[in-house]
């Protein structure tokens, strides 16, 4: 097969390498402060991508040369199709994964998009290249056969197209780095390729003449081939020796964009045993030939094998010891609960109404006891001042699906088959349940599980104008619906009937979407408006929730219910306000305290309020509420993972019960962890990043102690692996399976 000219080979290589070279300093700026390792890895991966693009371009030109020798038109549609075919290597995998996301799967045509998008993209590119070939290139003849005016016209067109492509490169870069930075990794990777190709082609059009005469290889061509070989060797060395330090890996994972995506691709391609992990670029797989050894493998005690690659060989079953200690503590708590003092409180509370107030995406630090917070959120602090407030409360996840499901089931893994939920257990004891839940929560948490046991659930539409976009506030409506239901079902002759009322406030979650023209927001902030930045608008949303909950408190007082009602106030997770590069755009994915430290308060009528520093979790809410009242054993879900918080709520509990510590399990899509106070372990398995923090002196999680305390890391990992495994699959398929598992089990015969 005849090869294209050396000019085409040189320009193919230059197109790929020059396009990648433009992106290297841009990524270096994002990685500041820049170390030698970060620069080496980011530059090597980008230039490696440029080399791969160059080879694809060269392969396409090789086929085009053969077609031309057989009489084909170098500027025809068939030739353009050959050149566009390489795009399918990127379009097919991107389209296959793009519509698996929770929101993307709801879009029209999502089911056929994996087939339509690559086809449409390929055809559009082929047509564009065919047009560009006729508009930007001369016919394949010598320069002497074309008039000078035509050559000048084509040269001008190429300059215009080159500038346009470089402008497009800038636009793609801005979009890639500024939009959904923590989401859609396949799209981000695809955009890197697009930017590299556009930059390379733009430069090529600006500097190359319109005609391409065949020439014999010159020194420049040989030098370029030698450079390409050198870059290939360098890439191989980089894959083996790059990112050996935890600091470099964390910098890539939190500050990088192009490097982070390309590291992900390289490790995926380099996974030798198919276990989902690789050893390349400081990857976590310590044996890439054995699929049974990887970071997610369960550590077996006493076999002298490091199954989970954490550098710690388990010789003592710490999880079994912790389980035995927890069982002993549960027996002590049970004996204490059966005492006369606690029984008297339980009898007094009896069938007390229960009000569950949850605020989506409310950070724990927003309700720290400061003069400013008290002034901005007076009604919430009125509630906190009358409750037992848990200052060290944590959500089991940074996303609503797992956290709310855990709250309602008392399970670390609420996505298994669950026998009973909180409203079902209370319904068995004579309670009538009512909930006001936003449509977005029902859509993504799953309607089946969190509505089981409620007599009525109002689906509050929070995204009327555009699906999943909350452009208006709903706190006032949530309160209005809750009070309306109480008046309809628990007024008059039914006023003594026990009820469970769950109001889930969503405005804080929508702080980045609610329009500033919203009338409730305008009424709150007044003519002064909002200061720029995320935090002021976020706090304004908390202010709206504060007002709405204040209306609930006032209404219950007016109806004579406030002094009788048990109130649970909590958030499902925190929120990123752009203060830390380790955090995503909003929430989810990772488990730093800004995302999982939450407010949690429980108000028991007639019980003295207090502050508790005990580390607790949302998983504890269900067993706490059930332990407040006696009832049939059948109404208590089995195998709860949470602990009752009664020793922290009621007076007279032995100090040993309050001081006991236990592991709190955390799970997210990119990170998992465990808290055993004061230590918190966080692990990003795929990126080989392990972090250990002493929260008693470093609640902001800045001083990573993992390298100093490898045994503590190993011990905490063992405790995490002994907990129920959570399959946090947020794709459409995963949510369908979750809904199927959430159906109430058939009663045993």
DSSP calls for 298-343: PPPTTSS--TTSSS----S-HHHHHHHHHHHHHHHHHHHHTSHHHH
How far is the C-alpha of 454 from the C-alpha of 461, rounded, in Å? 19
What's the pLDDT at 74?
Answer: 54
> Hey, what's the torsion of the CAs at 110, 114, 117, 119, to 10 degrees?
-140
Q: Where are the beta strands (DSSP E) in 638-735?
A: 664-667, 672-676, 679-684, 689-694
pLDDT at 565 exceeding the cut of 70? yes
Average pLDDT of the residues in 245-262: 91
> Is 424 found in the same domain as 559?
yes
> Is 547 found in the same domain as 448?
yes
What's the pLDDT at 635?
Answer: 45
For residue 284, give both structure tokens.
Answer: 């976590």
Question: What band does 593 get if pLDDT is binned at 50, 70 and 90?
Answer: very high
Question: What band does 381 get if pLDDT is binned at 50, 70 and 90?
Answer: very high
Question: What band does 109 get if pLDDT is binned at 50, 70 and 90?
Answer: low
Residue at 84 is within a domain: no
Residues composing the chain: 749
How far is the C-alpha of 11 from the C-alpha of 6, rounded, in Å? 8
> Is 568 found in the same domain as 460?
yes
What's the pLDDT at 71?
Answer: 58
Average pLDDT of the residues in 100-114: 66
> Is 365 found in the same domain as 253?
no
> Is 179 found in the same domain as 260?
yes
pLDDT at 392 exceeding the cut of 70? yes
Percent of the chain's residues with pLDDT above 70: 90
Q: What is the DSSP string of 480-507?
A: HHHHHHHHHHSSGGGTTS-EEEEEEE-T
For residue 147, give both structure tokens.
Answer: 């008039």
| Number of C-beta neighbours around residue 661 at 10 A | 14
Note the pLDDT tens digit of each residue in 344-379: 888 888 789 999 999 999 999 999 999 999 999 999
Residue at 101 is within a domain: no
What's the pLDDT at 2?
Answer: 43
Candidate from 285-294, 525-534, 641-650 with smallest mean pLDDT:
525-534
- Measured at the alpha carbon of residue 187, what is the angle toward residues 183 and 188, in degrees to the nearest 5? 75
Candidate from 11-25, 256-270, 582-596 with smallest mean pLDDT:
11-25
How far is the C-alpha of 373 from the C-alpha of 367, rounded, in Å? 6
Give me the helices (H) in 86-112, please: 88-98
Percent of the chain's residues with pLDDT above 90: 46
Please give the helix or strand (H or E) that residue 31 lies within, else none: none
Q: Is 597 helix (H, G, I), strand (E, B) or coil?
A: strand
What's the pLDDT at 148?
Answer: 76
How far is the C-alpha of 410 from the C-alpha of 689, rounded, in Å? 29
Domain count, the chain: 2
What's the pLDDT at 1?
Answer: 39
CA 433 from chain centre, in angstroms, equals 32
Is 56 or 408 the better-scoring residue by pLDDT?
408
Give strand pairing partners of 127. Answer: none
pLDDT at 702 exceeding the cut of 90? yes
Is 76 or 403 the better-scoring residue by pLDDT?
403
Residue at 314 is within a domain: no
Q: What is the pTM of this model?
A: 0.86
465 secondary structure, DSSP code: S
CA 486 from chain centre, in angstroms, equals 37
Residue at 688 is within a domain: no
- Please say whether the beta carbons of 519 and 562 come within 8 A: no
> Is 277 found in the same domain as 354?
no
> Is 391 found in the same domain as 525?
yes
Final residue of a domain: which of 282, 307, 333? 282
Average pLDDT of the residues in 558-562: 90
Residue at 646 is within a domain: no
Question: What band does 496 get if pLDDT is binned at 50, 70 and 90?
Answer: low
pLDDT at 276 exceeding the cut of 90? no
Final residue of a domain: which of 282, 306, 325? 282
> Is 380 found in the same domain as 259?
no
- Strand 600-603 vs strand 388-390: parallel, antiparallel, or unpaired? antiparallel
- Please say whether the beta carbons of 74 and 64 come within 8 A: yes
Residue at 705 is within a domain: no
Residue at 20 is within a domain: yes
Final residue of a domain: which of 629, 644, 664? 629
Interior/surface letters 193-226, b for 16+ CB within 10 angstroms, e for the rest: bbbbbbbbbbbbbeebebbbeeeeeeeebeebee
Average pLDDT of the residues in 113-133: 82
pLDDT at 103 exceeding the cut of 80? no
> Is 623 found in the same domain as 480?
yes
Note the pLDDT tens digit of each residue in 639-685: 789 999 999 999 888 888 887 788 999 999 999 999 999 999 999 98
Residue at 478 is within a domain: yes
What's the pLDDT at 411?
Answer: 95
Is 204 or 478 the better-scoring residue by pLDDT?
478
Candidate from 223-232, 582-591, 616-625, 701-710 with smallest mean pLDDT:
223-232
Q: Determine the structural domain holding residue 159 and report its residue range.
A: 6-74+145-282
Please give the helix or strand (H or E) that residue 469 lies within, else none: none
What's the chain's average pLDDT?
Answer: 86
> Is 453 found in the same domain as 368?
yes
Phi, psi (rounded to 5 degrees) for 5: -65, 160
CATH no. for residue 502? 3.40.720.10
How far is the C-alpha of 671 from the C-alpha of 252, rounded, in Å? 15
Determine the number of helices (DSSP H) and then strands (DSSP E) in the chain: 27, 15
Note the pLDDT tens digit of each residue in 329-338: 888 888 888 8
What's the pLDDT at 299?
Answer: 78
Candidate from 83-97, 366-380, 535-549 with smallest mean pLDDT:
83-97
Positive/negative CA dihedral, 170, 172, 174, 176: negative
Is 609 or 219 the better-scoring residue by pLDDT?
609
What's the pLDDT at 625?
Answer: 93
């Amino acid at each position: 097969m005849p090869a294209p000219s050396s000019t085409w080979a040189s320009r193919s290589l230059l197109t790929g390498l020059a396009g990648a070279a433009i992106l290297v300093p841009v990524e270096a700026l994002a990685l500041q402060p820049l170390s030698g390792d970060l620069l080496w890895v980011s530059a090597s991966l980008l230039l490696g991508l440029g080399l791969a693009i160059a080879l694809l371009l060269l392969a396409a030109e090789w086929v085009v040369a053969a077609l031309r020798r057989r009489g084909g038109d170098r500027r025809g549609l068939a030739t353009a199709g050959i050149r566009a075919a390489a795009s399918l290597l990127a379009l097919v995998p991107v389209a296959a994964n793009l519509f698996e996301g929770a929101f993307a799967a709801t879009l029209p045509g999502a089911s056929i998009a994996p087939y339509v998008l690559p086809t449409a993209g390929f055809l559009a590119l082929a047509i564009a290249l065919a047009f560009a070939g006729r508009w930007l290139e001369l016919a394949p003849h010598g320069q002497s056969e074309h008039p000078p005016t035509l050559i000048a016209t084509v040269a001008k067109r190429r300059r215009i197209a080159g500038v346009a492509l470089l402008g497009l490169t800038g636009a793609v870069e801005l979009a890639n780095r500024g939009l959904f930075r923590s989401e859609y990794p396949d799209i981000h990777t695809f955009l890197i390729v697009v930017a590299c190709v556009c930059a390379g082609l733009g430069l090529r059009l600006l500097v190359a003449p319109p005609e391409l005469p065949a020439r014999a290889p010159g020194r420049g061509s040989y030098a370029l081939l030698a450079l390409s070989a050198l870059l290939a060797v360098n890439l191989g060395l980089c894959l083996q020796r790059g990112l050996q330090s935890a600091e470099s890996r964390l910098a890539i994972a939190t500050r990088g964009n192009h490097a982070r995506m390309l590291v992900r691709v390289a490790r995926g391609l380099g996974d030798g045993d198919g276990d989902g992990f690789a050893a390349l670029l400081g990857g976590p797989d310590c044996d890439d030939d054995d699929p049974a050894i990887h970071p997610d493998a369960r550590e077996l005690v006493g076999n002298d094998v490091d199954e989970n690659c954490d550098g710690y060989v388990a010789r003592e079953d710490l999880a079994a010891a912790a389980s035995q200690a927890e069982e002993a503590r549960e027996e002590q708590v049970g004996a204490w609960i059966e005492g006369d003092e606690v029984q008297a409180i339980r009898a007094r509370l009896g069938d007390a109404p229960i009000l569950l107030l949850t605020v989506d995406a409310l950070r724990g630090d927003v309700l720290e006891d400061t003069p400013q917070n008290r002034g901005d959120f007076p009604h919430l602090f009125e509630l906190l001042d009358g409750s037992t407030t848990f200052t060290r409360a944590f959500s089991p996840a940074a996303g609503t699906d797992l956290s709310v499901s855990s709250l309602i089931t008392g399970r670390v893994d609420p996505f298994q088959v669950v026998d009973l939920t909180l409203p079902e257990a209370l319904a068995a004891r004579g309670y009538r349940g009512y909930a006001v839940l936003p449509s977005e929560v029902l859509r993504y948490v799953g309607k089946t599980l969190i509505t089981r046991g409620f007599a009525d659930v109002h689906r509050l539409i929070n995204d009327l104008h555009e699906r999943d976009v909350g452009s208006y506030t709903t706190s006032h409506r949530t309160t209005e619906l809750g009070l309306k239901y109480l008046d309809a079902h628990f007024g008059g002759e039914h006023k003594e009937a026990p009820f469970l009322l769950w109001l889930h406030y969503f405005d804080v979650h929508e702080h980045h979407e609610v329009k500033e023209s919203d009338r409730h927001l305008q009424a709150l902030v007044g003519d002064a408006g909002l200061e720029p930045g995320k935090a002021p608008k976020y706090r304004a949303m908390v202010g709206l929730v504060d007002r709405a909950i204040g209306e609930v408190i006032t209404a219950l007082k007016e109806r004579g219910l406030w002094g009788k009602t048990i109130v649970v106030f909590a958030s499902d997770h925190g929120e990123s306000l752009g203060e830390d590069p380790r955090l995503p755009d909003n929430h989810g994915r990772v488990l730093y305290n800004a995302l999982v430290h939450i407010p949690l308060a429980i108000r028991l009528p007639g019980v003295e309020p207090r502050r508790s520093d005990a580390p607790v979790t949302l998983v504890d809410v269900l067993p706490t509420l059930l332990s407040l009242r006696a009832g049939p054993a059948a109404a208590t879900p089995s195998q709860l993972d949470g602990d009752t918080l009664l020793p922290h709520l009621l007076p007279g509990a032995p100090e040993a019960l309050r001081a006991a510590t236990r592991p709190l399990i955390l799970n997210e899509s990119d990170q998992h962890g465990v808290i055993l106070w004061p230590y918190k372990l966080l692990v990003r398995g795929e990126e080989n990043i392990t972090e250990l923090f002493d929260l008693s002196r470093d609640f902001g999680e800045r001083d990573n102690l993992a390298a100093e305390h490898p045994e503590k890391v190993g011990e905490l990992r063992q405790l995490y692996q002994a907990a129920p495994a959570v399959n946090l699959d947020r794709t459409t398929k995963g949510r369908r399976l979750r809904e199927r598992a959430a159906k109430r089990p058939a009663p045993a015969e």
